[in-house]
Structure 1
Amino acid sequence: MEKIGFVGVGLMGHGMAASLLGAGHPLTVIAHRNRAPIEDLAAKGAAEADDLAALAKASDIVHICAPGSPQVEGIVEVLLAKMAKGGVIVDCSTSNPVSTKILAAKAEAAGLHWLDAPLGGTPAQAATGELAAMVGAHEAVFDRVKPVIATWAKTIVRIGGPGAGHTMKLLNNFLAMGYGALYAEALTLAEKSGVGTEMFDSVIRGSRMDCGFYQTFMGYAVDGNREAHKFTLTNALKDMSYLAAMADGTGVANPVQGAVKNSYAMAVNTGGDGPEDYVPHLVDFVARANGIKR
């Protein structure tokens, strides 16, 4: 069994790491701020590394679930220096594809392999091993790591070479965050015009406009469940900023995405920058900007 290192056992990473343990992989983890997931995984048989260098030395394959490219770049710098040749770095973060391609080239130059595998799904799906993985990797690396990914992902699609997984993830998140921006604005219009949130939802739910993202968004907007979709407004803005950079790099005009990014920027910069300020809460910020108290 491949020996796995896991950096970032937070909302998504904890469930993924538990699935790897359940499949019999020797697992090494490292603490950041919250020790609760580390202690849970240790109780299940994981080893805790004192530092990132020790984790790198103990692992054939290292998974990374970090907030974004700056953090991934710092982690990879240590892995490049300390992992044994032939090891694989798996970046499950939503990262900037420009950075990803540079890191992949550095990994190959160091005798290591690269695979980006950003995630689709929720923390609940992470806990049951039912995530989706959008993979960017050379085919031989993909074939080696696919059985490992299959311990925590139900759907695995190789998009292309290194960086392709992160590119597809940003496109996916453009749609998701675009839905969120549309829903928040539509609900504000519904409230301002007198239709109201509940009536709006009664028409849209079950129609062709319904979808899984709509239902989790409305889990907060209608039912008041603040944890209906635990993806922060800060991460939404970060992803849309990465997508804007990707569009600039390819020379593509992206006016709709610019509007979506600005909706999240408004929320983050007017108080929505906390660790428990999630995407469905965008509805409150758009309403407030229009003089509506929800």
Structure 2
Amino acid sequence: MDNNNKIGFIGAGIMGQGMVQNLLKAGHEVNVIANRNRRPIEELVALGAKEMMSLPDMASCCNSFILCLPSSQTAMSVCDVLFPLLLPETIIIDCTTNELVTVKELAKKAKAAKLRYVEAPLTGGQQQSRDAMLGAIVGCDVDDFAMVSNILRPCCAQIERLGELGMGATTKLISNFLALGTATLVVEAMKVANNLGVDWEKFYKLASQGSGHSMSLDRIAPKAITGTHDGYVFTIANTVKDMEYISALLKDQPDAAAITEVFLRIYKNAANDGMEEALLSARLKTK
């Protein structure tokens, strides 16, 4: 495939690695940069990606950028270095799950530098990333949407523009309120079932026939039944981070804010108990 997209991909980790693989399959030239874990970078280079040693090196050879970073703080730090290096009209697609305030600040900085900043946080997980089945929640100027869709199409089954910048973060955090809330209820229901002597396998079969059936239940329960707890690939630390972002967004929504505070307390307690890097579903481990 011959195209003019020379993509700089920053954040080729749990979600980003699968995205880069699919961009390469579609014929895009993709440049990657290592952070702490070199394994994904080495695997991607073996598939045809080019490794850059620094952001200035990447900026000198790419005409579009995708960010898929672990936090708003990291996104801000990267963009503070990256933006001054870029030519006017360069497009930056930020797939990070960001706080709303961060998106607004980055949009302001991009506008001052005459850059085209787009937010496109993602729905789905590691497997959906590998399978090109992600959803992209896009907030951008209407004129940028066609280009964003063209770049992200190899990675996504669904790409929707929700409105101007800020609507992506708002929608993504509401989606995570639903997703992480559902996963939390699955874990709590299974913990209670275990404590009260209910057989997990029978519970899962029966719950799957009712309105409590969910993707979270299907990810978490079957593995827990076999004694493994890696069904929901999302760490406690990331859950705390997202719940803090959600709490800030929903502060003026009394009922939702109260529910969020309960979830946040659960995961802060787990983090304080040494489970910060454990997966959300690992809370089902019996001591």
User: Which TM-score band (shorter chain)?
Assistant: over 0.9
Cα deviation code 1:203-234 (max 9, x no counterpart): 20232211112110213332333332211111
The residue type equivalent to 1:270 in the other structure is D
Give runs of aligned pairs for residues 87-166 of structure 1, distance below 5 A: 87-166=90-169
Counterpart Cα distance in 1 of 2:222 and 2:235: 15
* Letter paired with 2:118: L
Amino acid at match of 1:283: L
Deviation digits for residues 218-274 of structure 1, max 9, x if unmatched? Answer: 1333233333221111111100000111123xx222111111111111111112112
Match of 2:266 in 1: 263
Please give the residue correspondences for 1:113-262 in structure 2 after superposition, counting only pairs within 5 Å: 113-248=116-251, 251-253=252-254, 254-262=257-265
Structure 1 residue identity aligned to 2:83: L
* Alignment of 1:278 onto 2:282: no
The aligned residue for residue 55 of structure 1 is: 58
Identity across matched positions, percent: 34
Query: Who is 2:88 aligned against?
Result: 85
What does the per-residue CA deviation read over 1:90-112, in whole Å, with 9 as the maximum and x for residues that have no partner? 11111111111110121011010
Amino acid at match of 2:279: Y
Q: CA deviation at 1:6?
A: 0.4
Measure how far apart 1:12 and its partner are: 0.9
Report the Cα distance in structure 1 between the residues aligned to 2:243 and 2:263, rounded to whole angstroms: 8
Distance across 2 between alignment mates of 1:137 and 1:225: 41
Q: TM-score, normalised by structure 2?
A: 0.93
Cα distance, 1:40 vs structure 2: 1.9
Q: Which residue of 1 aligns with 2:69?
A: 66
SS of the equivalent of 1:62 reads strand
Which secondary structure state, in structure 2, belongs to the residue aligned with residue 270 of structure 1? helix
Task: Tell me the TM-score normalised to structure 1 length.
Answer: 0.91
The separation in 2 between residues aligned to 1:211 and 1:186, in whole angstroms, is: 13
Give CA deviations for 1:41-98 in whole Å, capped at 9, x if unaligned: 2222222111112212222111111110010001111121101111111111111111
Tell me the amino acid that sits aligned with residue 283 of structure 2.
L
Q: Deviations over 1:258-294 (max 9, x none)?
A: 11111111111112112xx11111334xxxxxxxx45
Separation (CA, whole Å) in 1 of partners of 2:244 and 2:208 = 31
Q: Which moved more, 1:56-65 or 1:197-206?
A: 197-206
Q: Deviations over 1:100-140 (max 9, x none)?
A: 11101210110101111111112122112111111111111
Q: Is the 8 A contact 2:132 2:155 kept in 1?
A: yes
| SS of equivalent residue, structure 1 residue 133 | strand
CA deviations on 1:123-158 (whole Å, 9 max, x unpaired) are 122112111111111111112211111011111111
2:79 is the alignment partner of 1:76? yes
Gap regions ≥5 residues in structure 1: 285-292
How many angstroms apart in 2 are the aligned matches of 1:224 and 1:147?
A: 42
Number of residues of Structure 1 aligned to a counterpart in Structure 2:
282
- Call closer, same or farther: CA 1:145–1:121 in 2, change over 3 Å: same
Structure 2: gaps of 5 or more residues: none
Greater mean alpha carbon deviation, residues 194-203 or residues 28-37:
194-203
CA contact (8 A) 1:218 1:280 kept: no
